[in-house]
Amino acid sequence: MLGIGKTGWIEKDAPVCGPLDALVKPLAVSPCTSDVHTVWEGAIGDRHDMILGHEAVGQIVEVGALVKDFKPGDRVIVPAITPDWGALESQAGYSMHSGGMLAGWKFSNFKDGVFGELFHVNEADANLALLPDDVDMAAAVMLSDMVPTGLHGVELADVQFGDDVCVIGIGPVGLMAVAGAKLRGASHLYAVGSRPDCAALAREYGATEIINYREGDIVKQIMELTHGKGVDRVIVAGGNAEETFAQAITMLKPGGRIGNVNYLGSGDYVKIPRVEWGCGMGHKTIAGGLMPGGRLRMEKLASLLSTKRLDPGKMLTHRFNGFEHIEEALMLMKDKPRDLIKPVVIL
């Protein structure tokens, strides 16, 4: 990222490895919709000459003197969020906000990301996980961000056995939310999306109904399907601050929860409809969060792939080989052709 709205290639000095840290060479990377918000919406403010990217698996090139569990040559899963584990926010259970709100998100936010020949990982023992041999490397890139984020939407909505769940937005994050809601025991699972390939994959991951937001009001559609009752949980993984929360609140039963993982890249306020929110008394909770990162999370989620409980590799619609294709993959993510779900670049 050269500046807001501008990308290109730059030369930078190799990062320096601190005593707890690692330097990693990427083996496979993927661009994220968040990179698009960052560059083309300027959503986190201006950044100059910052290397983008926060989804990677890689190979360790160097470790600091105090790193115990990793060594050069190890193939590792790199989470998008790499907290400072000693921070008070981490001790309070919110490691993704270690050092300040959203500050556990370092790659392509506060420091250079993973689209470089080498990148730096803080607190390697706490933030990296070994890539299991039986997990496909391209699929494993989805462990950096898409899997943990989609599943975090499910956690934030606190999906219970038998719940009726609606997932709004079925790009890769929403698709992982669908898969996660199924793993958590959702019964009726409504997926809101418009692209046929995403809809087909949502069904594969467990959606029982597809709601097309381009074919009429989604609240009306949900209310018809639920005989006027609405749903127990809503996971927001797409849409906007103006319209989507109004829809989510309206379709939610009293006592329900909204789990938002959508990155609201523009606008000043989120709109909550007063009456549908029970005039403030409807017990309709909105929880929004950045995905948790770190080693334990990565190891656990990788075991979902090893045991074949989850296959995020099905989302990889576009595969590239070679560093020079990273820019093309990023532009695909920006332009979102109808047949794109997620690109991956093998290096």
Question: Where do contacts with ligand NAD occur on this chain (CB under 6 A)?
Answer: 32-34, 37, 145, 149, 168-174, 192-195, 198, 213, 237-239, 243-244, 261-263, 290-291
In this structure, what are the phi and psi dihedrals at residue 291, rounded to the nearest 5 degrees?
-60, 145
In the bound complex, what is the minimum distance in angstroms from residue 143's beta carbon to ligand NAD? 12
Residue of closest CB approach to Zn ion: 32
Q: Rounded to whole angstroms, how far apart are CA atoms 152 and 164?
A: 17
Cβ(294)–Cβ(127) below 8 Å: yes
In the bound complex, what is the minimum distance in angstroms from residue 280's beta carbon to ligand NAD? 25
Cβ(200)–Cβ(219) below 8 Å: no
Q: Kindly give, in sequence order, each residue whose CB lies less than 8 Å from that of residue 18, ignoring residues fewer than 6 positions away.
A: 64, 122
Task: List the structure tokens of 217.
Answer: 């009001």
In the bound complex, what is the minimum distance in angstroms from residue 108's beta carbon to ligand NAD? 11
Task: List the structure tokens of 218.
Answer: 């989604």
Q: Rounded to whole angstroms, how far apart are CA atoms 208 and 308?
A: 21
In the bound complex, what is the minimum distance in angstroms from residue 284's beta carbon to ligand NAD? 19
In the bound complex, what is the minimum distance in angstroms from residue 265's beta carbon to ligand NAD? 7
In this structure, what are the phi and psi dihedrals at residue 39, rounded to the nearest 5 degrees?
-80, -55
User: What would the x/- binding string for Zn ion be over residues 25 to 44, using CB under 5 A?
Assistant: -------x-x----------
**Does position 109 bind Zn ion by CB under 5 A?**
no
Task: List the structure tokens of 204.
Answer: 């594969």
Angle ∠(265,266,270) on CA atoms, nearest 5: 100
261 binds, among Zn ion, ligand NAD, none (CB under 5 to 8 A by kind): ligand NAD
Taking the least distance from each CB to ligand NAD, the nearer of 23 and 175 is 175
Residue 96: Cβ within 10 Å count: 24
Taking the least distance from each CB to ligand NAD, the nearer of 15 and 293 is 293
Q: Give, as ranges, the residues between 144 and 203 that touch Zn ion (CB under 5 A).
A: 145
CA 126 to chain centre: 20
Burial letters 22-34, b for 16+ CB under 10 A, else e: bbbbbbbbbbbbb
Taking the least distance from each CB to ligand NAD, the nearer of 26 and 171 is 171
In the bound complex, what is the minimum distance in angstroms from residue 145's beta carbon to Zn ion? 4
In the bound complex, what is the minimum distance in angstroms from residue 14's beta carbon to ligand NAD? 27
Q: Give, as ranges, the residues between 115 and 154 that touch Zn ion (CB under 5 A).
A: 145
Taking the least distance from each CB to ligand NAD, the nearer of 145 and 164 is 145
Q: Kindly give, in sequence order, each residue whose CB lies less than 8 Å from that of residue 8, ignoring residues fewer than 6 positions away.
A: 2
Residue 106: Cβ within 10 Å count: 24
- Which secondary-structure segment (H or E) carries 161? none
Taking the least distance from each CB to ligand NAD, the nearer of 74 and 328 is 328
Taking the least distance from each CB to Zn ion, the nearer of 55 and 62 is 55
Q: Kindly tell me the sign of the dihedral angle through the C-alpha atoms of 15, 17, 20, 24.
A: positive
Taking the least distance from each CB to ligand NAD, the nearer of 34 and 95 is 34
3-class state of residue 345 by DSSP: strand
In the bound complex, what is the minimum distance in angstroms from residue 168's beta carbon to ligand NAD? 5
Taking the least distance from each CB to Zn ion, the nearer of 64 and 172 is 172
Catalog residues that contact Zn ion under the rule CB under 5 A: 32, 34, 145
